[in-house]
């Protein structure tokens, strides 16, 4: 199993969620985060004093999926989240050694 982590633009969350759902991936966890990257920030002023807005609001999605689904899921996320504009975000995949469903104690693929 793998953990797919995606950083996407906030208004893309629904699109990604629907795309994954169509591929049968229902469970996921989202977090409000802020990101820095190539997108850079912009300079604003507050009461006449300049400051950098370099942390842009993003949403992080975490999805644990079974190995065979990983590639499809990543592709779907990338397709759904892309707007072609800078700051669209990243997806990365990390290995997962064990998963448990708390309610039932089921393990592994059954737990997803």
Instruction: Provide the binding-site residues for a copy of itself, judged by CB under 8 A.
Output: 1-3, 5-8, 17, 26-38, 55, 58, 60, 64, 74, 77-78, 81-103, 105, 111-112
| Cα 23 from Cα 71, distance rounded (Å) | 11
Q: Binding-site residue total for another protein (CB under 8 A)?
A: 24
**Residue carrying the six token digits 């700051």:** 87
And the tokens for 6?
Answer: 């995606």
Give the nearer residue to a copy of itself in terms of CB position, either 23 or 78: 78
Site string for another protein, 3-32 (x = CB under 8 A): -------xxxxxx--x-----------x-x
- Residue 73's H or E segment, with its range, is helix 70-81
**Is the Cβ of residue 10 or residue 51 nearer to ligand ADP in the bound state?**
10
Task: Specify the 3-state DSSP secondary structure of 96.
Answer: coil
Q: How far apart are CA 92 and CA 58, in angstroms?
A: 15
3-state secondary structure of 102: coil
Site residues, another protein (CB under 8 A): 10-15, 18, 30, 32, 34, 44-51, 53, 55, 57, 59, 80, 83
């Amino acid at each position: 199993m793998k953990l797919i982590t995606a950083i996407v633009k906030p208004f893309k969350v629904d699109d990604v969620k629907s795309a994954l759902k169509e591929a049968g991936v229902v469970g996921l966890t989202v977090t409000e985060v802020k990101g820095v990257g190539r997108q850079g920030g912009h300079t604003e002023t507050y009461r006449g004093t300049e400051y950098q807005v370099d942390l842009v609001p993003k949403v992080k999605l975490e999805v644990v999926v079974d190995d065979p689904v990983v590639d499809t899921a990543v592709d779907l996320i990338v397709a759904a989240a892309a707007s072609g504009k800078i700051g669209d975000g990243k997806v990365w995949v990390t290995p997962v050694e064990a998963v448990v469903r708390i309610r039932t104690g089921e393990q592994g693929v059954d737990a997803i």
